[in-house]
Amino acid sequence: MPNYDYDLFVMGAGSGGVRAARMAAGLGASVAVAEDRYLGGTCVNVGCIPKKMLVYASHFRDEFEDAQGFGWTVKPEQFDWTKLIDNKNKEILRLNGIYESLLTNAGAKIFDGRATIIDPHTVSVAGQSITAERILIAVGGWPFVPDIPGKEHAITSNEAFFLSQLPRRVVVVGGGYIAVEFAGIFNGLGSHVTQVYRGPLFLRGFDNDVREFLAQEIPKKGVNLKFDTDIARITKQDGELQVEFTDGSTSTCDAVMYATGRRPLTADIGLESTGIEQNSNGAIVVNERYQTNVESVYAIGDVTDRINLTPVALAEAMSFVWDLYSEGGKDVGYEYVPSAVFSQPNLASVGYTEAEARDKFGAITVYRSSFTALKHTISGSDEKTLMKLMVEDATDKVIGVHMVGPDAGEIIQGIAIALKAGATKAIFDRTIGIHPTAAEEFVTMRDPVAG
């Protein structure tokens, strides 16, 4: 039997890579991990965690305004971007240390550098050739900026977390969750924000009702939405950016942030040397056990470009490890994976959209409710909440739940458990609500949408 340096070599120390390495080492495998940027990957450093911190910060302006309706006199607010970013950086540095401890305490060896595959059992990192029985690729993705004149003047979400000062005027380009979230962040912190999307409506893939509802709510906060247009060019003049749009209009701003998608970070990691199969956008093709067409090489997480969410990468990591180093049988279920957009107001979803449900199940019943949350009956805000629920007629199972409103992610997380367990509408109806909450609306909807 071949003698390898390690049982498992993990390329990438993001959420999925760290979880796989730590668990495999804990089960007795000899494990090494290579990372060339930062421990914790995108989520910890330039993704979920720092973004949520900025989202929290951006909500305070609305809270100050809402407080007046409840009798509070709020002094003129002052916001210090530098202090926010410094505090965010300190917390991320602390998390980097925790990830390092998790790996070393489990017995995994950390290599500082970008690993490349030499052959099915060999990688090169930091000038060393290292052999392993299995190689796991978990290098994640990277923001993509289209090739337009002046693209060198644009930033992505990566750079947005480290700006030296808050831009006074921002153009956010894109229609995905990162674009929507950062438009809300900059706007909430006091920037004048224009969000541009080339399509007719943002957040493609979410239910149409919630997309349309959110497009009505976001401008109430002050974000200028421009659909069916794109940026033609960016020029820099006298320290300002001049933006020309494809519809002929122009804008002067201090920052242009592109959030037009992410691509698997698979360039220059040696995939070609072993003939590892990739799809058209560079994602690694794997089977149901995360194995590539090269028997000893596996891949999980965003690098496979399936459901690009941190909890999915974590679940895939655990399934991978259990399958190879433990009793197995812990398959990941990709149906009823909940997701949230930390827009303002929040959007969250689990299960099928209405279009998907009609296509898959045929006869369905739809329930929908739009209302003003109790808080806003005296806050002075005209923000509305939307809830939507879909039921398969043949089984009475709830197959899709969608929400736009405060704490949507927190609420949908609990409902995702019910859908995963196969809850029916009858069970929802028999569930006692917590009053007064917005969430109770999900167990009190009785009248289906006509038609």
**pLDDT digits over 207-263, tens only?**
999 999 999 999 999 999 999 999 999 999 999 999 999 999 999 999 999 999 999
Give 169-183 pLDDT, tens digit per residue: 999 999 999 999 999
State yes or no: pLDDT of 294 exceeds 80: yes
State yes or no: pLDDT of 150 exceeds 80: yes
CATH number of 6-142+263-325: 3.50.50.60
State yes or no: pLDDT of 76 exceeds 80: no
Question: How many angstroms separate the CA atoms of 422 and 416, rounded?
Answer: 10
State yes or no: pLDDT of 439 exceeds 90: yes
pLDDT score, position 151: 97
pLDDT score, position 450: 81
The conformational region for residue 343 under phi > 0 = left, psi -120 to 50 = alpha, else beta, is beta
Residue tagged active-site, from 121, 192, 376, 435? 435
Domains of the chain, residue spans = 6-142+263-325, 151-260, 339-443
pLDDT score, position 329: 72
* Same fold flag, 6-142+263-325 and 151-260: yes
Write down the mean pLDDT value for the chain: 96
- The whole-model pTM stands at 0.96
Give 325-336 pLDDT, tens digit per residue: 998 778 999 999
Cβ-proximal residues to 408 (8 Å cutoff; 6+ apart), any chain: 340, 345, 346, 347, 348
Residue 14 has what DSSP assignment? B
Domain 151-260 matching CATH 2.60.40.10: the answer reads no
Question: How many angstroms separate the CA atoms of 136 and 132, rounded?
Answer: 10
State yes or no: pLDDT of 289 exceeds 90: yes
- Binning pLDDT at 50, 70 and 90, where does residue 75 land? confident
Strand positions, DSSP E, 324-412? 339-341, 347-351, 364-371, 385-392, 398-404
- Binning pLDDT at 50, 70 and 90, where does residue 119 land? very high
State yes or no: pLDDT of 337 exceeds 80: yes
| Catalytic-residue membership of 435 | yes
Alpha helices, DSSP H only, in 31-164? 41-46, 48-67, 81-106, 157-160
Residue type at 344 in one-letter notation:
Q
CATH number of 339-443: 3.30.390.30
